[in-house]
Structure 1
């Protein structure tokens, strides 16, 4: 049998999926043991017991200086910024993408601008945003919006353009107005793609969030990572990076479940 036709069963898929993670964990344990054997004070690859103690301190014990439980305070601050940024970006992308897809005049006026803005490196705009909007929450949210919305807008417009033209023609023959075509024909078919586009932008959104928090913040996951890096506190950095990754994975799973629940027909079409 050719390898291209060899499909693993469910148990084999589970083993193959977990194997790379097991290999990474084994490599870390070996590297940590080697470095700690050479230098017990080494901070680069802390032992699992050290990581566990740091997680307990960060996630369960109040900070002596502020009284907050640092991990949860930082998580709430970051998720609030991320939620505002992704919410505004999603709403803006849906409105502009739908207009560009349905209205030729809007397409001619907005498509070049959206394409141009999507090519601007968002992190290069961070100093400008801090100068114009200050060092508060607005500039951090604005960076997420600017970094995410143009890409989502172009993605939605492309998805709308891929819809069969016959659907628009049939709606027009039934005397549907432009507004009705946009709401009843185009919008329901691009909403699943909107959720998928949001899923694909979770990684960049976290990147922009952490970059903004690293420069100017008093709480947040990115702020904490860059605060302790000067002390080489890898026992804090590793758990925070793992927690950020877990949050992104959980958001991705949640959005996937939401799409399947709201638009089950999109699975059949895919």
Structure 2
């Protein structure tokens, strides 16, 4: 039997999925053990025991000055900014994507503009945002929105243009207005794609958030990572990086489950 036709069973799928993580863990453990054997005070590659102790301390110990657990405060701050930025981008992407894809006049006016704007490196705009909006949360939310909105618009525009024209013609024959066609014909078919596009844009959204928090902030996951780097506190940095990765995975997993629940027909068609 050709390799291309071989599929793993349930146990095999779990084992194959876990294999890369196990290999990375083994490589890290070996590298950490080698450095610690040479220098027990080495802080670049802390042992798993040190990482576990640090994680427990971060998750449970209160800050002496504020009396709060900074880890959870940083998490809440970052997730709030991420949700606001992605939410604004999703709304703009949906409205403009459907409008550009459905209405020729708007497409002629905005499609080229969106294509040009999407080429601007969002991080290059960060100083402008800080100057015009200040160094507060507004600038960080704006960076996330500016960074991923053009992608969402272009993706949803393409999906709208792929809608069967027969559906649009039939809706017009039945007397539907442009708004009615957008709401009853385009929107139900675009929403599954919107969730998929948001999932694809989460990586860049996290990048913009961490970058903005690193430059100017007094809380947040990115702020904490760049704050402790000067002390070479790799145990803290790695704990925060692992937590950010887990949060990103859980958000992506939740959106995938939401899409399957709301739009099972789209999953079946895919």
TM-score above 0.5: yes
Where do 5+ consecutive residues of structure 2 fail to align? Answer: none
CA distance in 2, matches of 1:95, 1:58: 41
CA distance in 1, matches of 2:175, 2:53: 68
Aligned residue in 2 for 1:124: 124
Aligned residue in 1 for 2:80: 80
Q: Deviations over 1:229-255 (max 9, x none)?
A: 111100000010000000000000110
Aligned residue in 1 for 2:241: 241
CA distance in 2, matches of 1:13, 1:249: 19
SS in 1 for 2:33: helix
CA distance in 2, matches of 1:51, 1:7: 37
Aligned residue in 1 for 2:178: 178
Q: Deviations over 1:126-163 (max 9, x none)?
A: 11111111111110000000001110011000011111
SS in 2 for 1:201: helix
Aligned residue in 1 for 2:212: 212
CA distance in 2, matches of 1:59, 1:32: 23
SS in 2 for 1:199: helix
Aligned residue in 1 for 2:143: 143
Q: CA RMSD in A?
A: 0.8
Aligned residues: 270
More deviation, 218-227/112-121: 112-121
Q: Cα distance, 1:66 vs. partner?
A: 2.0
Aligned residue in 2 for 1:154: 154
* 2:194 is aligned with 1:194: yes
CA distance in 1, matches of 2:105, 2:148: 24
Aligned residue in 1 for 2:98: 98
Q: Cα distance, 1:57 vs. partner?
A: 1.4
Q: Deviations over 1:163-192 (max 9, x none)?
A: 111111121222221111111001100000
CA distance in 1, matches of 2:162, 2:257: 24
More deviation, 66-75/169-178: 169-178
Matches within 5 A, 1:33-112: 33-112=33-112
CA distance in 1, matches of 2:176, 2:87: 30
- After TM superposition, where is structure 1 displaced by more than 6 Å over at least 4 residues in a row? none
More deviation, 163-172/24-33: 163-172
CA distance in 2, matches of 1:67, 1:202: 32
> TM-score, normalising length from structure 1?
0.98
Where do 5+ consecutive residues of structure 1 fail to align? Answer: none
Q: Cα distance, 1:65 vs. partner?
A: 2.3
